């Protein structure tokens, strides 16, 4: 479609101050969260999850620590249209080798915002659905149990997500590279057998 072939219709979601580098900010700068939220247009709105694909009735979400409910509410305020917040939270419940993953520390919560917005926007641009959230944040201990995971995985910085789309991974990765070329974001795109990895590191990387 012509509308997706022009640069004019796709404003960058990522700014220098809002990309994954935020995880490198000194603690004193991380308290500027309110300003960040306003800049990102994360206004409160009710009913934003109504009809979201993949959001099962009876909600699988059950807080497993005091921060999870708060993180859940933080993510809901992003008003993602094609990613279920319950599925995001569920990805933090997985276990490997007897090690349970966790939600990220609060100081890292906002670091996930850019990549979630990229994925949500990409699904809309590609006119497909997100059918699975496989991995988001990984605690260092959990990451160490993930076969093949880099020690400094972007998942441990809370700037990465592994997703299944309703289109083949090869096509999703190609579409994501096209969107990245148009300025949607800067970061990594990894294609796997059944899913795609996206991250918002400050350089473009493909695998
Ligand atoms: Zn990944």
Per-residue pLDDT of the chain in tens (207 residues, 90 and over written 9): 333 333 434 555 544 333 333 333 333 333 333 333 333 333 322 222 233 333 333 344 555 667 899 999 999 999 999 999 999 999 999 999 999 999 999 999 999 999 999 999 999 999 999 999 999 999 999 999 999 999 999 999 999 999 999 999 999 999 999 999 999 999 999 999 999 999 999 999 999
Give this prediction's pTM: 0.72
Q: Name the 3-class secondary structure at 201.
A: coil
Residue 11 to residue 120: CA distance in whole angstroms: 14
Q: Name the 3-class secondary structure at 196.
A: strand
* CA 162 to ligand 1 center in whole angstroms: 5
* CA 135 to ligand 1 center in whole angstroms: 7
Question: What are the CB-based long-range contacts (under 8 Å, 24+) for 8-16?
Answer: 10/125, 10/179, 10/182, 10/183, 10/184, 11/183, 12/183, 12/184, 12/185, 13/114, 13/117, 13/118, 13/121, 13/184, 13/185, 14/114, 14/118, 14/184, 14/185, 14/186, 14/187, 14/200, 15/39
pLDDT (0 to 100) of residue 104: 96
pLDDT (0 to 100) of residue 118: 98
* CA 148 to ligand 1 center in whole angstroms: 10
Q: Name the 3-class secondary structure at 172.
A: helix
* CA 142 to ligand 1 center in whole angstroms: 13
* CA 2 to ligand 1 center in whole angstroms: 31
* CA 197 to ligand 1 center in whole angstroms: 4
Which of the 8 DSSP states describes residue 119? H
CB-CB contact of 14 with 186 (8 Å): yes
pLDDT (0 to 100) of residue 67: 86
pLDDT (0 to 100) of residue 120: 98
* CA 46 to ligand 1 center in whole angstroms: 31
């Amino acid at each position: 479609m012509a509308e997706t072939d022009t640069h004019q219709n796709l404003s960058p979601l990522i700014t220098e101050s809002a990309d994954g580098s935020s995880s490198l900010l000194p603690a004193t700068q991380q308290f500027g969260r309110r300003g960040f939220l306003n800049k990102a247009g994360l206004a409160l709105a009710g009913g934003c999850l109504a009809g979201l694909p993949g959001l099962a009735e009876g909600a699988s979400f059950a807080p497993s620590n005091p921060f999870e409910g708060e993180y859940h509410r933080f993510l809901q305020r992003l008003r993602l249209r094609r990613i279920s917040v319950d599925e995001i939270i569920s990805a933090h419940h997985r276990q490997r080798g007897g090690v349970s993953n966790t939600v990220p520390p609060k100081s890292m919560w906002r670091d996930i915002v850019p990549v979630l917005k990229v994925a949500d926007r990409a699904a809309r641009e590609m006119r497909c659905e997100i059918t699975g959230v496989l991995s988001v944040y990984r605690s260092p201990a959990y990451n160490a149990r993930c076969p093949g995971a880099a020690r400094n995985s972007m998942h441990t910085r809370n700037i990465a997500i592994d997703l299944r789309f309703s289109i083949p991974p090869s096509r999703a990765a190609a579409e994501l590279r096209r969107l990245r070329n148009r300025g949607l974001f800067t970061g990594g795109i990894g294609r796997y057998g059944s899913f795609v990895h996206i991250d918002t590191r400050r350089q473009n990387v493909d695998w």
